[in-house]
Structure 1
Amino acid sequence: MASQSKDHALDHVVVVVFENRSLDNVLGRLYGPRDGKTFEGVTGRDLTNPIPDWAEHGADRKVVPYTVATDMDSPNPDTGEEYAHTNTQLFNILGEQNRFQLGEEISAPYNAPEAGRAPTMDGFVTDYISTLTGELGRQPTYDEYAQVMTGFTPEQIPVLNGLARAFGVFDHWFSEVPSQTFTNRSFWTAATASGFVVNSPVKNWILANDAETIFNRIEQHGRTWKVYVAEPDRLSLTGLIHHPRLKDRFDTHFVPFSQFETDAGNGDLPDFSFIEPCLVLGHGDYHPAFSRVLGHGVVIPDVDPPSSILGGEALLARIYNAYRAMRSPSGSNVWNTTLLIGWDEPGGTYDHVPPGPVPPPDPSAPVGQLGFMFDRSGYRVPAVVVSPWVAAGQVFNEEHRHTSLIATLREQWDLGAPFTARDAAARTISHAFTLDTPRDPHTWPTPAPHPVPRYIEDALLLGRTLSTLGKAAFEGIRGFADHHDIRIEGLPDDPRAEVPPEQALQIMRDFLAIHFPRLVPPTQVRQPPHT
């Protein structure tokens, strides 16, 4: 079979991007000194973060040591992930006027460092105490804020760690922007974020992120692609953040994840498959619980169904099992397809490796939202490459980042010039395929995910809650409707009016039934999204 050649290892590429975990948090104990690997994890290191002297509880302990997580949703409530919070985490800078403030409440200069200052990676406790105080309406106890200095063992997260051991892991894969989801996901697929740094206002993305995407470039060169969206989500955040470029493909190229399993089984995968976990309803994405706190001092137990790690592990196992079983003699198969597992950003979970400088994507217009120069990256996230041409137990120590994907596809598929200065400088992953004889998929391990508790599944199916990204998506729909003067049934005219999760979910479903028709279950009777 011609495809049983290393030269064809990247004929098809499957990418899944999960949410908000650092390398230390979920892969930090993958290898230790006794394993004989050069791997920059947490085992054998004395890692701590200082406790600020203004903390009301535990300040006498001086530091919080890095330990093993005991809660599969930890840290819960979720950590701060916006640009200003990430600045505090990386540099331990927190202006007094910004103490106990959240997200958009934080004012300039957004805890940013002076130019050229190296990250110290010692502000995670500071930021988490400040964030929790703003949310809880009181200062957290030591046990509450010490969660930010915890990470998981391979036994707790067996699927991800099992695949990292069985194939190749990158221990210096950095997110592109020291901020949150939308900007980093945009860099995965466009090597830029059009100058936007934070998710809000979401209408920025829907109306103005007009950068060329890898999907557009692939089409221009006669190749194929699909975005597969995990059920029960009916919205693609990839489509949302690249709305100006991809809106004409919503009804043709955005399909449910179940279609991925069918396409993989039939040998019908496109050249490029991009998988979105369940990001809006609950989580199947490894994201920490979005928060049991809905506002200043408003605490509701179990508002987010735990655990996204268990849900993410279950989805990753499904992806891997579908990939490993691909045997088409003429279409996509396991020998000519590579699976890349990545994350968007660390989301405020602890990591000890400081990120370095990077070239601005557009050197002629480097200043972006909140005054950020795009000249330094976010910090480390997990990344694993799965292929029969990758030797077991490989650790790739060189620096990679999200734009390594675009750099690799441009190189392998002859897709033309760099999108931006960022992917022009990124290292490809082509060096990962070192074997001349492929490994037999029958010999590969079968990682078994821990059970996902039934009540989590029920919560997802019932749509009892919306995640942080779900709330952002809802705000984006509102902004899109306002801009285009669309009246959405059930949506209050007052943008400040609270909308219960159930009602917001129905509004989203009705509105998205037209925009993402292939994500609507066939049994659902479609309602008009607007009048």
Structure 2
Amino acid sequence: MQGSERRLRVLLFLIVTSLLHHPCCSSASRQPIKSVVVLVLENRSFDHMLGWMKQSINPSIDGLTGRECNPHSTDDPRSQLICVSDDAQFVDPDPGHSFEDVVQQVFGSGAVPSMSGFVQQALTISRNLSSTVMKGFNPESIPVFAALVQEFAVFDRWFSSIPGPTQPNRLFVYSATSHGAIRHDKFNLLMGYPQKTIFDSLQEDGLDFGIYFKNIPTTLFYRNLRRLKYISKFHFFSTFKDHARRGKLPSLSVIEPRYFDLLEHPADDDHPSHDVANGQKLVKEVYEALRSSPQWNESLLIITYDEHGGFYDHVATPYEGVPNPDGIMGPDPFFFKFDRLGVRIPTIVVSPWIKKGTVVSRPHGPSSTSEFEHSSIPATIKKLFKLESDFLTKRDAWAGTFEDIVGHLTSPRTDCPEDSLLTEFQRELVELAAVLNGDYFLSSFSRETSKQMKVREASAYVNGAVSRFLEAGKHAMRLAADGSAIVNMRSSLTSITRSP
């Protein structure tokens, strides 16, 4: 009997010791992630990119069955149907994804999200587009995503932050608000969006960040990121691979893809009609740079999309219990209250600390209505790095977080595998470049100028503008200028405005 008791005590001791040292169960356990890398691609829905992986990769994914359809008219119950297929190819023209377009796609003719209006809305643009928006990619066509979904984690209930286009959704990724924007806003383009960002929160805690870009960093839409003290944080993409190789990646790395499509330098942002094969190459390049880095065992890679781009998704968008981030209402005529989310988008998270084949759906709080959306990124970064500053807005305080996705393994895994006109977002990037370059006020430069630009011309213009902006900032810093001042370019000359 005494021997049995002794063995039982030893067994209990081993169980308790195991629990205390398990990263999921011990609040004192060391959080393994020291470097977060974020790559935001362009304009694809979850079903369009990953929906068919339910059939051949992982049946746990909330994807497509092949029976999902949309009518030509949501008002006519006898209307012709167009159903999903797995033969997506190039896309031209660009499907509708403005605020008003998304309302029609999501609600159809009803008062609650039915996801029935994608075909009807596409028909207002082009008859050929109606079948295009219902197509998805066969997993064999996007092998990099197929491998990552199989090997790491996919989120099958991650939504864009607002039912609208690129720019406001990208703003949410690092600031949990668009500061009232539901589309391109010229005033905030000019002044820079004033809200606090996760970059500021990291700096307050003495942590570093880096922006690695190919054409132009969209993070320069934020006013704070235009400050002299942040100029050294911007690097060309080749530097990312160098920093990864040398183990010098900062706490947060942002990868900005190439937004302009040239013959010798194809766009790799996945924006229609850019070839998704190039996006796959970029993801592979980023993954392999991390995988071979000495920082691999402390890294977390987040791959997501800004918004759905007008492509079909069958999961109803959340429209109840979503908080307005900062009390700001959208402009007329919609006066959007920022109280519902956008369409579901693909999100993949990669780390050697993630179990193979993980599927993440609903978050466990912090609210009963919480969902994964772009604000989940700054919220998770705050928790991973235990940042002392408060949440950025009410939205990231509400959003689901995923810091526990790396808490289920006791050690990291070792088995991981030009002649076209500009899109609307590319024109917005040219306008941003014009502001950075001091050209925005010139009578020779207008919105019409960017409309007439071709991709090659625009790519050269933004590359030159960003280079001049960064060089001017570095020069001012060498002259001991105030680091909180805003870089203000005028007619290729740099002046420094007073600190706000």
TM-score under structure 2 normalisation? 0.79
Q: Could you tell me how far apart the structure 1 residues matched to 2:210 and 2:49 are?
A: 28
- Specify the alignment match of 1:91 in structure 2: 107
Secondary structure at the aligned position of 1:392 is classed as coil
Deviation by residue 1:442-501 (Cα, 9 ceiling, x = unmatched): x222xxxxxxxxxxxxx5xxx86544322112234456778974x4xxx73565456432
Secondary structure at the aligned position of 2:141 is classed as coil
> Does structure 2 conserve the Cα–Cα contact (< 8 Å) formed by 1:16 and 1:275?
yes
- Specify the alignment match of 1:179 in structure 2: 164
Q: Deviation at 1:411?
A: 1.4
Q: Could you tell me how far apart the structure 2 residues matched to 1:363 and 1:474 are?
A: 29
Q: Deviation at 1:359?
A: 3.0
Q: CA distance change for structure 1 residues 288 and 35 in 2, over 3 Å: closer, same or farther?
A: closer
Q: Deviation at 1:205?
A: 3.2
- Specify the alignment match of 1:468 in structure 2: 424
Selected match of 2:355 from 391, 405, 410: 391
> Does structure 2 conserve the Cα–Cα contact (< 8 Å) formed by 1:171 and 1:382?
yes
Larger radius of gyration: 2
- Specify the alignment match of 2:6 in structure 1: none
Selected match of 1:236 from 217, 237, 246: 217
What amino acid does structure 2 have at the position aligned with 1:436?
L
2:112 is the counterpart of 1:118: yes
What amino acid does structure 2 have at the position aligned with 1:161?
A
Identity %, equivalent residues: 27
What amino acid does structure 1 have at the position aligned with 2:288?
N
- Specify the alignment match of 1:451 in structure 2: none
More deviation in 269-278 or 249-258? 249-258
Q: Could you tell me how far apart the structure 2 residues matched to 1:88 and 1:215 are?
A: 35
What amino acid does structure 2 have at the position aligned with 1:211?
Q
Runs of 4+ in 1 over 6 A off after TM superposition: 479-484
Q: Could you tell me how far apart the structure 1 residues matched to 2:149 and 2:49 are?
A: 11
- Specify the alignment match of 1:424 in structure 2: 397
Q: CA distance change for structure 1 residues 374 and 266 in 2, over 3 Å: closer, same or farther?
A: same
Selected match of 1:220 from 183, 196, 204: 204
Q: Could you tell me how far apart the structure 1 residues matched to 2:402 and 2:222 are?
A: 25
Deviation by residue 1:144-199 (Cα, 9 ceiling, x = unmatched): 42111100011010101210110011100111000011111111100001101112
Q: Deviation at 1:280?
A: 3.5
- Specify the alignment match of 1:154 in structure 2: 139
- Specify the alignment match of 1:530 in structure 2: 492
Q: Deviation at 1:267?
A: 0.4
Selected match of 1:511 from 462, 465, 469: 465
> Does structure 2 conserve the Cα–Cα contact (< 8 Å) formed by 1:511 and 1:529?
no
Q: CA distance change for structure 1 residues 161 and 195 in 2, over 3 Å: closer, same or farther?
A: same
Selected match of 1:12 from 32, 35, 38: 35
Tell me, which stretches of 5 or more residues in structure 2 are unaligned? 1-21, 24-28, 363-370, 474-489, 494-500
What amino acid does structure 1 have at the position aligned with 2:119?
V
- Specify the alignment match of 1:77 in structure 2: 93
Selected match of 2:47 from 16, 24, 40: 24
- Specify the alignment match of 1:64 in structure 2: 82
How many aligned positions are there? Answer: 436
Q: Could you tell me how far apart the structure 2 residues matched to 1:149 and 1:484 are?
A: 39
Deviation by residue 1:200-254 (Cα, 9 ceiling, x = unmatched): x444234252000111111111000001113xx1x11111x21344343563111
Secondary structure at the aligned position of 1:258 is classed as helix
Q: CA distance change for structure 1 residues 494 and 424 in 2, over 3 Å: closer, same or farther?
A: closer
2:411 is the counterpart of 1:438: yes
Secondary structure at the aligned position of 1:222 is classed as coil
Q: Deviation at 1:78?
A: 1.1
- Specify the alignment match of 1:316 in structure 2: 283
Selected match of 1:350 from 309, 312, 336: 312
**C-alpha RMSD over aligned residues:** 3.1
Q: Could you tell me how far apart the structure 2 residues matched to 1:373 and 1:179 are?
A: 13
Secondary structure at the aligned position of 1:274 is classed as strand
More deviation in 395-404 or 61-70? 61-70
- Specify the alignment match of 2:253 in structure 1: 273
> Does structure 2 conserve the Cα–Cα contact (< 8 Å) formed by 1:206 and 1:243?
no
TM-score under structure 1 normalisation? 0.75
Q: Could you tell me how far apart the structure 1 residues matched to 2:458 and 2:270 are?
A: 23
Q: CA distance change for structure 1 residues 475 and 205 in 2, over 3 Å: closer, same or farther?
A: closer
Secondary structure at the aligned position of 1:326 is classed as coil
Q: Could you tell me how far apart the structure 2 residues matched to 1:432 and 1:495 are?
A: 45
Tell me, which stretches of 5 or more residues in structure 1 are unaligned? 94-112, 133-139, 290-305, 328-332, 446-458, 520-527
2:116 is the counterpart of 1:130: no
- Specify the alignment match of 2:154 in structure 1: 169
- Specify the alignment match of 2:188 in structure 1: 204
> Does structure 2 conserve the Cα–Cα contact (< 8 Å) formed by 1:206 and 1:242?
no
Q: CA distance change for structure 1 residues 364 and 63 in 2, over 3 Å: closer, same or farther?
A: same
Q: CA distance change for structure 1 residues 255 and 346 in 2, over 3 Å: closer, same or farther?
A: same
> Does structure 1 conserve the Cα–Cα contact (< 8 Å) formed by 2:431 and 2:440?
no
- Specify the alignment match of 2:301 in structure 1: 339
